[in-house]
Amino acid sequence: MATINPPTLQALGAYWTAQGGVNLGVVGDTAHIGKGVSYHLGQDQLSPDAYSIKTARDKAGLSDAASAIDLGKLDGSLANLQAFSRDFVERARADGPGFSDIREIIYSPDGKTVLRWDRERGAASEPRPGEADDSHLTHTHISWYRDAEKRDHTIAFRPYFEGDVKFIQASDLGQTKLLRLPLGTPLYGFDGSVVLKTPTARDWDYVGLVDAKGAEKVVAVNTGKVYPDAIPRPTLLVAKTGTLVDAPAPPTTAAVPQEYTVTVTDPPPTVEIGGKPVVNGKVTLP
């Protein structure tokens, strides 16, 4: 079978282009197929000794999906791509959110030298020259461990483009109550727009309460509707109605993933998260 472009990399490609970047592709071309070693290839096009299937994580997640993307100019400029790549590698070396799934980054920091960072040498390890060809002077290659195929690949990218994006451990929410919502209740983003309405399914009656002030209640809703990859995960939204009820345990909406993203933009002045105010679209937690 031919190598496929998985939904998570399709979503990342769309995110990159939305930021003004050029997506040079995911699935390997004939040159990649000829060598048979790249993360741009799925299992049927790989040689048995390919470096991209040697780690335990790659063996566990091996499928027909590619697991890498090539990024071109950002906002029409290689200099902007280089600036992004330098920042991205430093975040990788600091083991920032979303980087635990990234295996390697091949890039040029200056348009003159090609460097390769490899997590297998340790997250904090220095990128090294001499491990990739000069085509990477004009594009950045990023590959993910193959067991990360179905996880959101945009997490590592969002801080660079969206500013202070916060990642909160679900266990830190400390939810002790649920909010019972009338069916069809609108749920708002922090910019005041309606993100979705609770459908008629009974399991949407209750959502996890994160914080409340006055009529506005910040709730965790398990939905994929606001994410391009459509993978369900808790999303913080604002409800303006509903009845609080005691919860014997944290709701499943806060227990599904290990972490999720909070992005706030121009919120209403009364909104708080975790007892702390949102100021200029940012909140520091815990």
For each of the chain's 286 residues, which pLDDT tens digit applies?
689 999 999 999 998 998 999 999 999 999 999 999 999 999 999 999 999 999 999 999 999 999 999 999 999 999 999 999 999 999 999 888 789 999 999 999 999 999 999 999 999 999 999 999 999 999 999 999 999 998 889 888 977 886 543 333 333 344 456 666 666 677 776 666 676 665 544 444 455 666 666 677 777 765 544 445 555 555 677 777 776 666 544 444 333 333 333 444 444 444 555 555 655 555 555 4
Check residue 267 and give its pLDDT.
41
Distance CA(273)–CA(217), nearest Å, equals 9
The H or E element spanning position 72 is strand 68-74
The string over 229-248, giving b where at least 16 C-beta atoms fall within 10 Å of a residue's C-beta and e elsewhere, is beeebbbbbbbeebeeeeee
Instruction: Label residue 216 exposed, middle or buried (CB < 10 Å: 0-12, 13-18, 19+).
Output: middle
Check residue 282 and give its pLDDT.
57
- What's the predicted TM-score (pTM) here? 0.61
Check residue 198 and give its pLDDT.
57
Distance CA(38)–CA(66), nearest Å, equals 9
Distance CA(253)–CA(218), nearest Å, equals 13
Contact between 95 and 117 under an 8 Å Cβ cutoff? The reply is no
Distance CA(127)–CA(90), nearest Å, equals 10
Enumerate long-range contacts of 119-124, CB under 8 Å, 24 or more apart: 119/92, 120/55, 123/92, 123/93, 123/94, 123/95, 123/99, 124/93, 124/94, 124/95
